[in-house]
Chains A and B, each alone.
Chain A
Amino acid sequence: MTMFEAILLTVATAATPLLIAALGELVVERSGVLNLGVEGMMVMGAVTGFAVAQYTGSAWLGMFAAILAGAAFSLLFGFLTLTLITNQVATGLALTLLGLGASAMIGESFVGLPGVRMDSLYIQGLTDIPYVGKVLFGQDPIFYISILLTIGVAWFLFRTRAGLTLRAVGDNHTSAHALGVPVVRIRYLAVIFGGACAGLAGAQLSLVYVPQWVENMTSGRGWIALALVVFASWRPWRILAGAYLFGAVTIGQLHAQALGIGVPSQFMSSLPYLATIIVLVLISRNKRLTLMNTPTSLGKPFVPDR
């Protein structure tokens, strides 16, 4: 394995959870709902995935359980904000706090246990191709899911009638409602999809990235995913670019440190954030494009007036 290939693999592992969680949140926000609970749903996914894999010995079952856990947890958010019309920002924050606390409680007996690792793909012949073999054909299953998910979300949002409806709900829920579109039902589905994605992202952390459970193991990755959605101005392919840019700068700065180039490490550690902010500023300079893509009803409560 060459060093270049090794770095690419590390970057992909670092970018995948961000990509998946951000894609889920993208769909949620495109439907006009702002769910700040990504971190909480992600950490619930991580603990559930770990626990189920531990009991059954199967990383795959762990992954599916994590998806379900994330979805179930987001349903709580959906019920509060869509049915009871609570404030979305406050409810999302509460969901994060609840997730961090609940996962710590559930996971207490799993601390200090080595986890079950999800095996990477291996195809005789293809994986052994020099330079690109391991990157293209030798990664973990969740990496391939994340790429398919990007294609799927992009196709769904911009190439299907259902995607158009979802975006219409996000842009103007009153008009959509007047046209007979079931606004609340669509938002429920979007929120559940977002939760499932966050759960999957959490499973990637506890089954692939670092196969172990420790309290608060997401360490803020849910928040970065949230920022990525804005950074990508609500476009799926830009989320992919953003997640990989963030991953590449994160890994790049570690390598630069190991080479001992003498730049202060505090500065290096802030580089991924700095790079993201700079790109964000550059993108938002184009006001028309940003406005065009921002869901207009984002975060606004919808009360059907009959």
Chain B
Amino acid sequence: MKKLMMALTIAASFAVAGPALAADKLKIGFIYIGPPGDFGWTYQHDQGRKQLEKELGDKVETTFLENVPEGADAERSIERLARAGNKLIFTTSFGYMDATVKVAQKFPDVKFEHATGYKTAENVSVYNSRFYEGRYVQGVIAAKMSKAGVAGYIGSFPIPEVVEGINSFMLGAQSVNPNFKVKVIWANAWFDPAKEADAAKALIDQGVDIITQHTDSTAAMQVAAERKIKAFGQASDMIKFGPETQLTSIVDNWGPYYIERAKAVLDGTWKSHNVFEGMKEGLVVMAPYMNMPDDVKKLAEETQAKITSGELKPFTGPIKKQDGSEWLKAGETADDKTILSMNFYVAGVDDKLPK
């Protein structure tokens, strides 16, 4: 059933992607996993695309295909964009990795940019964001703000990207209160507003007084607002859904990167690379610190400044794993490879990681 729906959605999105127009413009294509209207992950990528159009004006022309499932359909969609004359193509989900590399081999003169993956080629770059840096700041705030000493964490799927976030949040909280606890609920969905709301209610009923989430809708924020506790937004600034609730939000800011890469293609300096950028490069932006006392705000800003300058790295020892074994010695920092494949909790997380 779902397959059929996907197939039809793709057929429909093909119909709207227009034919080639002016030849002298740089044509740029985007592949989205969800609808731009999810107000989360895809929304932020689309904001980046719009910033790109605004900045470079009539030098570029952008197209996007939405709701493209990861798998065989992805390859066809990417190839379609390449055939339509796009010279720069952004594929914005982890699961497009192999499809991107495969299509790239067929179109050596087209540049490809794949988000959150790890396979590069002559004409394939990889870009990823250190979301976990923002999680650390959130952890610091949570430990300062929580009276119960327990925060609730709504996770989507137990993949490294999400586990990184939970661990970093925990470490940030422990830096303020070593006994801080985190309760985790896995929604097993990226996007199911009603289920996310239920998860938030369950966490609040069990006594947490701060909610943070790694799922894509604003439902948890609304529940937190209704129950009058504090919460963190995700992917975009969700302040409208909780004017007196949102403490801050990690905003994925892809625009500058998209502009930089498009400019590189325009002046012929584009080279394949593999970047993992965070606060320093402006990929991770924190929404304004709100609804907290000045001293907490100051601490949050200081923490953010330290991470931005590189003085503070969230995954710096001594850190113990959940089972008590040593992960990092004092002063040792985790390398990017370990961070990108993280599949264990650090000590203190009140959950068993699903495998």
Chain A residues with a Cβ under 8 A of chain B: 3, 6-7, 10, 14, 93, 96-97, 100-101, 104, 107-108, 111-114, 117, 205, 209-212, 214-217, 219, 221, 223, 250-251, 254-255, 257-260, 262, 264-266, 268-269
Contacts and interface: CB of A to CB of B under 8 A. Distances in A.
B203 A258 contact: yes
A101 B196 CA distance: 23
Given A14-B194, A210-B197, A210-B222, A266 B205 contact: no
Contact of B194 (A97, A217, A223): A217
B3 interface: no
A219 B8 contact: no
Most chain-B CB neighbours within 10 Å: which of A205, A211, A265?
A265
Interface stretch (B24-32, B79-87, B181-189, B326-334): B181-189
A251 B313 CA distance: 38
Interface in B219-242: 219, 222, 226, 240-241
A214 B37 contact: yes
B201 to A, nearest CB: 5
Given A219-B193, A259-B206, 12 more contacts: A3-B206, A93-B4, A111-B39, A114-B222, A212-B222, A214-B39, A219-B195, A258-B152, A258-B202, A260-B350, A264-B355, A269-B187
B52 to A, nearest CB: 20
A36 to B, nearest CB: 9
B193 A265 contact: no
Interface residues of B, number: 46
Contacts of A255: 202, 205-206
Contacts of A211: 222
A264 B354 contact: yes
Contacts of B4: 93
B198 interface: yes
Contacts of B289: none
Contacts of A93: 1, 4
Given A214-B217, A251-B198, A7 B351 contact: no
Contact of B191 (A219, A250, A269): A219
Contact of A215 (B38, B203, B218, B226): B38
A101 B43 CA distance: 18
Nearest to B355: A264
B106 interface: no
Interface string B20-50: 0000000000000001011100010000000
A266 B354 contact: yes
B260 interface: no
A93 B2 CA distance: 11
Nearest to A1: B205
B202 A265 contact: no
Contact of A10 (B8, B158, B198): B198
B259 to A, nearest CB: 23
Interface string B337-355: 0000000000000111011
A10 B201 contact: yes
A192 B37 CA distance: 30
B155 to A, nearest CB: 8
A212 B202 contact: no
Contacts of A262: 352
8 contacts: A10-B202, A112-B240, A211-B222, A212-B222, A255-B202, A257-B202, A258-B152, A258-B184
B198 A215 contact: no
Nearest to B193: A210
B300 interface: no
A254 B197 CA distance: 11
Given A214-B37, A257-B184, A260-B352, A209 B197 contact: yes
A206 to B, nearest CB: 9
Contacts of B194: 14, 205, 209-210, 217, 219, 221
Greatest chain A CB density within 10 A among B196, B201, B219 is at: B201
A260 B183 contact: yes
A104 B219 contact: no
A7 B194 CA distance: 15
Nearest to A217: B193
Contacts of A97: 5, 8
Contacts of B191: 214, 216, 219
Most chain A C-beta atoms within 10 Å of own C-beta, residue among B195, B196, B202: B202
Contacts of A250: 195, 198
From B8, B37, B196, B217, residue with most partner A Cβ within 10 Å: B37
Given A10-B202, A219-B189, A114 B352 contact: no
A6 B39 contact: no
Nearest to A219: B192
B5 A212 contact: no
A269 B206 contact: no
B279 interface: no
A114 B202 contact: no
A254 B185 contact: yes
Contacts of B283: none
B141 interface: no
Given A14-B194, A219-B194, A210 B219 contact: yes
